[in-house]
Structure 1
């Protein structure tokens, strides 16, 4: 008789994007459960993502980051690597500028209520995004992907970030103990969801366009990025591109997927472990890299690094 673990893996092998089926065997680990932590720890963990979003949006729209607006929020943490003003049209720049200001507010509220954490070292360089997109497509793009080059590439890079924070807030909400904490996460989640929806709608309108100079459409890139995040997260399908098979569409009736959601159209949750595996781009919460080359900050993230060091890895 098949075990639940065997059945889980069989389902994942069927549903994962085809480009990963040829090279990757999805796993069903036993560490996809919520982390034991208090409310402040959970917000401190989330602030890593809020820092990342603030720096990428502000630099992309304005050519300057959080230190130009609220330098005390960094609490002595290092400035980000590689951020610069993107080549955006007027409308897209206005959207991203607004996103950046929203992230300043998110950081302010987390600092005000919990004291906040030092900003970790964040890598938003074109080289880091190039590595991420190479990993998503399965080969080295030529020329390397540069999110700052034009609006479509920048918005595809945006696609790669806020949704993960959204998943984190969905996942942490049931674990919160205080009413004030639940109130705060509701406010944060509402705006993060709006940012993700605005980004996906922007890209959906251009879905069939080829991303120059590659022979890859916008939709294909979103499917590849979502597939990579599922692969790195290691806890099943919690990420979907802009076009999906009907069995993954809303009520199994549509291939359109402007919003990513489960079979009941509820947002997918992710645990801190899953998020670290994704934002580190290593598939391992103990091994930093990607957007956080020295690891994320706060007790939850640093304990994974500490445990890793204890094991001598």
Structure 2
């Protein structure tokens, strides 16, 4: 069977298993409920939102840009190909391409040695494609026009020299210079770790705004739960492989690498020490894990949209492009295209 047909069948099977969930969003809530839940869930408050009124479509398009990034990365890692063009078009912004790089480190299908990790990659890839499809449908509403949908911007998922992953790796402490996200199971998990925690912290902001509306709160909780499951899969797998005897990791401890990524995210998203690695200290590996990053009250922490952009732009300054989005994200609201000045 052709590789393309295998991909289509895998996505179709995943979509069928999610039919009840999608019907809940479309029928029980309606578009207004979905967008209101999205607005609160993504914590669209703060300086950028105050400068320019944020519409429900702006909120959904912000989320869609991030889902484009995750879906493209996981699709390449799991299957060696990206999303079909019918999921990339839109009337907001200029449609970009996927920067895959060339030679060593180019985006490609990971040759997994662990069947479990390979299954995780395929599952999460299908989830992220479903998110792209769902958000596009929510923005389109009952019409047929894509004029309100953000087109996929240029996205850099290259592991080659000069690509976004290389820039992220060289900025970590300890340095992960030379890192190839598609080289093997461990590298794939470390690359996935770059993104997964960011989505969880962005959606966590829903609780305070939605506490008095059970319908909206339930919807936001469902979206958050999927991202949290993904993050737990990646964090748990990295930790288990990092403490395995004999060591599974081929370069350095997966725990050390993940902690370095956490340090990078913390260095660009503001002065507060928000991010947490897989252990609470260098001496706790194998004794005390930190799979679920929490505050002192046992709660997950939040990030603003501007802080999210600091991370995906790989820049602590207020900029409108960089890193995984070389030309910035596509959004009709200019206040939701800039990272924070940290």
TM-score by length of 2: 0.69
Matched residue, 1:56 = 73
- Compute the displacement of 1:299 (Å): 3.4
Q: 2:132 aligns with which of 95, 107, 114?
A: 107
- Compute the displacement of 1:181 (Å): 5.7
Q: Secondary structure at the match of 2:156?
A: coil
The count of aligned residue pairs is 264
Matched residue, 1:264 = 297
Q: 2:195 aligns with which of 135, 150, 161?
A: 161
Contact 1:162 1:196 in 2 (8 A): yes
User: What is the CA–CA distance in structure 1 between the aligned matches of 2:216 and 2:288, rounded to whole Å?
Assistant: 36
- Which consecutive residues of structure 2, in runs of 5 or more, have no partner in the other structure? 1-44, 101-106, 141-148
Q: 2:280 aligns with which of 233, 244, 264?
A: 244
User: What is the CA–CA distance in structure 2 between the aligned matches of 1:171 and 1:231, rounded to whole Å?
Assistant: 21
User: What is the CA–CA distance in structure 2 between the aligned matches of 1:204 and 1:297, rounded to whole Å?
Assistant: 35
Q: Secondary structure at the match of 1:263?
A: coil
- Which consecutive residues of structure 1, in runs of 5 or more, have no partner in the other structure? 1-30, 249-253, 309-313
User: What is the CA–CA distance in structure 2 between the aligned matches of 1:190 and 1:167, rounded to whole Å?
Assistant: 11
TM-aligned CA distance change 1:174 to 1:109, over 3 Å: farther
Contact 2:330 2:337 in 1 (8 A): no
Contact 1:34 1:172 in 2 (8 A): no
Q: 1:212 aligns with which of 247, 250, 261?
A: 250
- Compute the displacement of 1:72 (Å): 2.1
- Compute the displacement of 1:261 (Å): 1.5
Q: 2:335 aligns with which of 297, 303, 306?
A: 303
User: What is the CA–CA distance in structure 1 between the aligned matches of 2:217 and 2:338, rounded to whole Å?
Assistant: 29
Matched, 1:276 2:306: no
Matched residue, 1:228 = 264
Report Cα offsets for 1:184-227 as digits up to 9, x if no partner.
433221111100001111111012447434xx321111111111
Q: Secondary structure at the match of 2:183?
A: coil
Matched residue, 1:94 = 119
Matched, 1:288 2:321: yes
Matched, 1:65 2:90: no
Report Cα offsets for 1:3-38 as digits up to 9, x if no partner.
xxxxxxxxxxxxxxxxxxxxxxxxxxxx97683423
Q: Secondary structure at the match of 1:158?
A: helix
TM-aligned CA distance change 1:307 to 1:58, over 3 Å: closer
